[in-house]
Amino acid sequence: MNIIIVGCGKVGTTLASRLDEEGNNVTVIDIDGSRISTLVDSSDIMGVVGNGAVHKVQVEAGIREADLLIAVTGSDELNLLCCLIAKKSASCRTIARVRDPAYNDEASFLQSGLGLAMTINPELTAAREISRILQFPSALKIDTFAGGRVELIKFKMPEPCKLVGMKVMDVVASLRCDVLVCIIENGDDVVIPNGSYVFRQGDVISLIATHQNVQEFFKKIGYKNNAVKDVIIAGGGDICYYLTESLRKSTSVTIIERDMERCQKLSEAFPNVRVINADATAKDALLENGIGNVGGVVALTNMDEENVLLSLYAIEASKGKSKVITKVNRLDFDEVIKRLSLDTIVYPKNLTTDQIIRYVRGMKDTIGSNVETLYNVIRDRIEAAEFRIDEKSPITGIPISDLRFKNQTLLAAIFRKNKAFIPRGSDRIEPGDSVVVVSDIKMLSDISDILAG
């Protein structure tokens, strides 16, 4: 596909690299020539220096042959204008990043009025993920499928844990919980386990099930899972705004923000929320606001280094009892960061990129299925994808035990007529089903990609 990306900031650069890796023809536009040079020199990408909202610049970038334009500059208004001009000058589809909370309630109106294929809001997406985790604090990460009816939960095995020494194949019978273990991480080892895998202390497990079955599983292994009742949010940016909007009715929220003007805006928006004007990385400010006693701490400052240090201090101050969530924007040092004793890390760029990659794959011609949901579960290693199956699919009507799947591929869940279930060997996939696949195969775009031979 021919794709134009306007804006070479953090999201635009990540997007360009991912889409290029997936075999698309990518052209980037930015007013900063140095950004263009850096990106073009490091990958097989074309670049145009200029204002992406200027028709002449879009023509130079190949808008007339483009299948998709994605506008991710730092300005919502500029992004919308880029998409409007693209729609007027070509038949390509358009995606705009729109982040300002003032536009959030207008998202559907903007999308339909301007003919956008979709709008993306990294801050809102990140806030929703953080909110889910605070409601289920035993989890390190939660991804949802089938409109939230099926969950992929990542958690670290507690100490002690009755799973240690147990085989994967014995989990359902022993615990009487309908869950499916999808991925196991231990140090640098990452596997999609078969039934004979034996759990070890220190395993990080990803399993898939309905929300009710996940709750039952955690009770059976002795993992307490009460929703966080009070939380400190360090940093009062847009993610903080969306997160507070989500939490304020069920959770006591304290916001610490160093900018007085921003504090005033947050106080006006949320009159029942404590807003503290202070440096969120100052030890005294954190102690005065009870960082060692709250149920959750969310580090959302604009600097990754501050968020990491603040999170490590929160873990120490609470003796590991608080749920601590760390926002990280840069991916350069993720191998180093994941070796730190952090709790949950949220990468807004990854969440946004997954949304767009899913859409791009869905645009491609498929043989009997379409990508509904996509998560890069372990960066560049394992994906989880939800496919909508139609009557052309080669996997319908055949017992699952008779289907030959590629190695390191798992058919994890089936959603049919508002009911989700874990597939067993005698089950058959039917047209209209949604199925969830976990695999180390990159660039899954059709359900047939998981079949061997």
pLDDT at 170 over 90: yes
Instruction: Give the pLDDT band of residue 110 (cuts 50, 70, 90).
Output: confident
| pLDDT at res. 345 | 93
Name the CATH architecture for the domain at 127-220: 2-Layer Sandwich (3.30)
**For 302, how many CA atoms within 13 A lie in the half-sphere containing its CB?**
7
Which residue has tokens 């500029």? 78
What strands, in cross-sheet order, belong to the sheet with 409-416?
Answer: 369-378, 382-389, 434-439, 409-416, 419-421
Under CATH, domain 230-344 is a member of which superfamily?
A: NAD(P)-binding Rossmann-like Domain (3.40.50.720)
Mean pLDDT of 124-128: 94
The mean predicted confidence, pLDDT, of the chain is 91
Under CATH, domain 351-450 is a member of which superfamily?
A: Regulator of K+ conductance, C-terminal domain (3.30.70.1450)
Per-residue DSSP letter, 58: H
Instruction: Give the pLDDT band of residue 372 (cuts 50, 70, 90).
Output: confident
Q: What angle do CA 112, 62, 28 make, to 5 degrees?
A: 80
Task: Measure the CA–CA gap between 35 and 293, rounded to whole angstroms.
Answer: 44
| pLDDT at res. 366 | 64
Domain ranges (residues) in the chain: 2-120, 127-220, 230-344, 351-450
CATH topology match: 2-120 vs 230-344? yes
10 Å CB burial of residue 314 (0-12, 13-18, 19+) is buried
| pLDDT at res. 98 | 93
Spell 66-80 as b/e; 16+ CB within 10 A means b: bbbbbbbbeebebbb
**Chain-centre distance of CA 50, in angstroms?**
31
**For 73, how many CA atoms within 13 A lie in the half-sphere containing its CB?**
22
| pLDDT at res. 378 | 83
Summarised one tens digit per residue, pLDDT across range 253-268 is 999 999 999 999 999 9
CATH class belonging to 2-120: alpha beta
Give 223-268 as a DSSP string: ---PPP-EEEEE--SHHHHHHHHHHTTTSEEEEEES-HHHHHHHHH
